[in-house]
Amino acid sequence: MRSLLAILVLVLSALPTRAAKSPVYVWLEPEWFEGVKGTFAYWADGTKPPKPTGAWGIAGPGISAEWSQGGESEWNSIGASAAETSAECRRDLVVPRAGKYRLWVRYVDHRKKTEPFSVAIRQGGKDVLAGELGSKPVVPANDEYQLYWGFSFGWGHVDGDLQAGPARLALSISKTGEAWRQVDAILLTDDLDYIPAGREKPPFAYERSFGLHATKAGPSWRGSGKGLVAGASWKRPAVGGRDFAMWTGADSDPKWWAKQNTAALTLHDVLFQFAPSPDIRDKFHQQFAGRKDIPVLSWPHLLPGFYLGSTPDLSPGTPLRTWLERTKTPFFILTNYASGQYTDKTGRATYEALTGPLSAQFLGYIHGEALGTGGVSPPDASLGKDRRAHVDALGKRWLKQQAEAWSKIYKTPVPEGHWAKGISCLSVDSIALAHLFHEMGSQVVGYEEDATNVHVPMRIAFERGAARQYGGAWINYASGNFGDACNYFTQQHIPRGAPAWFHSKYAITDGVSAAWYRKLYYQPLSRG
């Protein structure tokens, strides 16, 4: 998923100090370069090599090989086929001061194969720092990833002298290679002793602020904290009448619900039916029939949700609505890549139920990896003359788009205020947008997490901080795949390595462990 807030700006670490000048570190993401067009996926069909297109294309997010190495920097990379002979992308930048520089490039190095491309920095109409990469290996042939996948990420570099001022960086291809080209990240630095490792970023000057301590003024330098309630007197806002809950999927299948005695049906009955994955459901029902003490399923704070793609009908008199009204069970609706198939009658009735009789128990819409439903999207250009104007206009844009989308889905006018029931769980940019979502009226805001990301504490800090500031709540969104239950990512067309791997090291018999999920849930609990 591409970043939702415009272009990644140059990150400079050139702040002067009294002792000496700090090194310059300019970190660039090539997926934002001018000239990158379309997509490039070497793994889409391993039996047919990608054809040249005359341009670099977005190559990420990668699959097994990339994720087993920690993933690509900032989620994406760019790529071009082995047969490509004419492609170029570029980025204008400003060199902060004159000196000798080293241009590091993180790219895919194929084992015993070439993947040539050129890099150049142009100033005054001349290539003042230039060279070819990919013709010689930068990763040892006996590297673990080289041996397993046949390729791995490595860092190559080119040195040169630069003058202070405007410059243009270009990545170009002028001849064929023995394997595809794939570039992930670029670092321009005058610190010739620095050697990048993986996708780890260099020690930017702003990191020095992490070691700052309060002055004589005390902790007020971080803000007065006036109006912030702390201590035992403060309580987290309840969501669905609960301080903490876990949410899971159920099914709104009208045929199943029509067969049930809704006057006696319990939440445990519903979870027992739908919680097991379809491939083991029959055996699960046989083994645990009649049991009311099943771990997790018997926990009173496990709450169900229904998929918008299944068009849950909450019209008066439907079995599902009758059961929800009787049991007062809190529930959510998952919107991922769906819009429902409502009629004028069922759409209007469902919307009226969610905003009327069922509103107190309706937890909201989970927008997994998305801002909202289809039709809610980031702009292609700035919406204002400065950041403040852009953010203000951004909020108005999304409120309007989401209201229009809901109106089409439910076949009835839906006001912008219905945004409050949306729970965006972005896989990227959740940190940048957490406070804006609350400012727009969101009651709950979330983020997506998986087993490969190490920045959970930082995401929690922003989500929790925004929720505390606005009196709202936050949620962690993760797919519940245990052991061999994650086989829907199997048998991909991967040219090398295990054919059943996908991202997060999912395989037919390999998945996220129960222990990992337990740690994930303990962590936010320990942070309030």
If phi over 0 gives left and psi between -120 and 50 gives alpha, with beta otherwise, what is residue 134? Answer: left
- Arithmetic mean of pLDDT over the chain: 86
Q: How confident is the model at residue 1 (pLDDT cuts 50, 70, 90)?
A: very low
What's the CA gap between 33 and 51, in Å, rounded? 21
Would residue 232 count as lying in a domain? Answer: no
264 belongs to a structural domain: yes
Residue 348 covered by a domain: yes
Q: Are residues 454 and 339 in the same domain?
A: yes
Q: Which residues lie across from 315 on neighbouring strands?
A: none
438 part of a folded domain: yes
Predicted confidence band at 405 (pLDDT cuts at 50, 70, 90)? very high
Q: What is the pLDDT of residue 349?
A: 98
| Last-in-domain residue among 176, 191, 206 | 206
CB 137 within 8 A of CB 108: no
Residue 20: per-residue pLDDT: 66
Whether 406 shows a pLDDT value over 80: the answer reads: yes
Residues 340 and 455 in one domain: yes
Contact predicate 11/29, CB 8 Å = no
Q: Which pairs from 216-221 meet CB under 8 Å and 24+ separation?
A: none
Identify whether the C-beta of residue 309 lies closer than 8 Å to the C-beta of residue 224. Answer: no
Range scoring the smallest mean pLDDT among 205-209, 328-332, 451-455, 462-466: 451-455
Instruction: Indicate whether 416 pLDDT > 90.
Output: yes
- Examine residue 268 and state whether it is found in any structural domain, yes or no: yes
Q: For 266-279, what is the mean pLDDT?
A: 90
- pLDDT, residue 65, reads 81
- The set of residues, in sequence order, having a beta carbon less than 8 Å from that of 223 and lying 6+ positions away, is none
Question: What pLDDT is recorded for position 223?
Answer: 59
Which residues pair with residue 28 across a beta bridge? 186
Closest of 523, 481, 524 to residue 506, by C-alpha: 481
Model pLDDT, residue 42? 86
Does 38 score more than 90 pLDDT?
Answer: yes
Taking the C-alpha atoms of residue 132 and residue 184, their distance in angstroms, rounded to an integer, is: 16
Is the pLDDT confidence value at 489 over 60?
A: no
User: Range of 517's domain?
Assistant: 246-526
The number of distinct structural domains making up the chain is 2
Which stretch of DSSP H or E encloses residue 145?
Answer: helix 144-149
Cα torsion through 184, 59, 41, 68, rounded to 10? 50
382 and 488 inside one domain: yes
pLDDT, residue 501, reads: 47
Residue partners of 35: CB distance under 8 A and separation at least 6? 55, 56, 87, 88, 89, 90
Q: Please check whether residues 508 and 364 belong to one and the same domain.
A: yes
Q: What is the pLDDT of residue 47?
A: 66
Q: List % helix, strand, coil for the chain (3-state, nearest 5).
A: 30, 25, 50
Residue 51 lies in a domain: yes
178 and 306 co-located in one domain = no
The rounded distance, in Å, linking the Cα atoms of 441 and 460 is: 20
How many Å apart are CA 223 and CA 209, to the nearest integer?
A: 16
3-class secondary structure, 446: strand
Query: Can you give the pLDDT at residue 494?
Result: 47
Show the beta-strand stretches assigned E in 68-194.
Answer: 78-80, 87-95, 99-110, 117-123, 126-133, 151-162, 165-173, 181-189
175, 206, 237 - which closes a domain? 206
Distance CA 108, CA 437 (A): 37
Are residues 254 and 164 part of one domain? no
Is residue 368 a contact partner of residue 449, using CB atoms and an 8 Å limit?
Answer: no
Mean pLDDT check: name the lowest of 72-81, 290-299, 491-500. 491-500
Per-residue pLDDT at 444 exceeds 90: yes
DSSP-assigned beta bridge partners for residue 108: 153
Per DSSP, the residues of 12-71 read ----B-SSSBPPPEEEE-GGGSBT--SB--TTS-TTSPPPP-SS-EE--S--HHHHTTT-
Asked if residue 224 belongs to a domain, the reply is no
Comparing 205-219, 420-434, 495-509, 512-526, which segment has the lowest mean pLDDT? Answer: 495-509
Residues 254 and 201 in one domain: no
pLDDT in tens, 182-191: 999 999 999 9
Residues 267 and 375 in one domain: yes
Checking if the pLDDT of 497 tops 80, the result is: no
Residue range 219-270, pLDDT digits in tens: 555 556 666 676 777 788 899 999 889 899 999 999 999 999 999 999 999 9
d(C-alpha 340, C-alpha 311), whole Å: 5
Q: Are residues 170 and 71 in the same domain?
A: yes
Q: Are residues 266 and 195 in the same domain?
A: no
Rounded to whole angstroms, the Cα distance separating 296 from 273 reads: 14
Do residues 461 and 29 make contact, with C-beta atoms less than 8 angstroms apart? no
The predicted structure's pLDDT at residue 513: 60
The pLDDT-based confidence of 453 (bands split at 50, 70, 90) is low
Q: Are 250 and 270 in contact (CB under 8 A)?
A: yes
| pLDDT digit string, tens, across residues 138-162 | 999 999 889 989 999 999 999 999 9
DSSP code per residue over 301-348: TEEEEEEGGG-----TT-HHHHHHHHH---EEEE-TT------HHHHH
Mean pLDDT, residues 79-100: 97
Contact 122, 170 (CB under 8 A): yes
* Best CA proximity match to 39, nearest among 68, 71, 80: 80
Q: Are residues 389 and 438 in the same domain?
A: yes
Task: Give yes or no for residue 512 having a pLDDT over 80.
Answer: no
Whether residue 202 has a cis bond before it, omega within 30° of 0: no
CB neighbour burial string for 38-62, b if at least 16 within 10 angstroms, e if fewer: eebbbbeeeeeebeebebbbbbbbb
Cα angle: 518, vertex 520, 522; to 5 degrees: 70
pLDDT tens by residue, 129-139: 999 999 999 99
Quick one: pLDDT at residue 66? 84
> DSSP characters for 172-223?
EE-S--SS-EEEEEEEEES-TT----TTPPP--GGGGGGG----TTGGGGG-
Phi, psi of 93 (to 5 degrees): -150, 175
Query: Which of the residue ranges 79-88, 486-495, 496-505 would you say has the lowest mean pLDDT?
Result: 486-495
Residue 173: which CATH number?
2.60.120.260
For 327-376, the pLDDT digits (tens) are 999 999 999 999 999 999 999 999 999 999 999 999 999 999 899 999 99
Highest mean pLDDT among 13-27, 49-63, 82-96, 290-304: 82-96
Flag whether pLDDT at 19 surpasses 70.
Answer: no
Query: 16 pLDDT exceeds 50?
Result: no
226 or 436: whose pLDDT is higher?
436
Report yes or no on 238 lying in a domain: no
Q: Among 206, 225, 255, identify where a domain stops.
A: 206
**Residues 161 and 253 reside in one and the same domain:** no
Percent of the chain with pLDDT over 90: 63
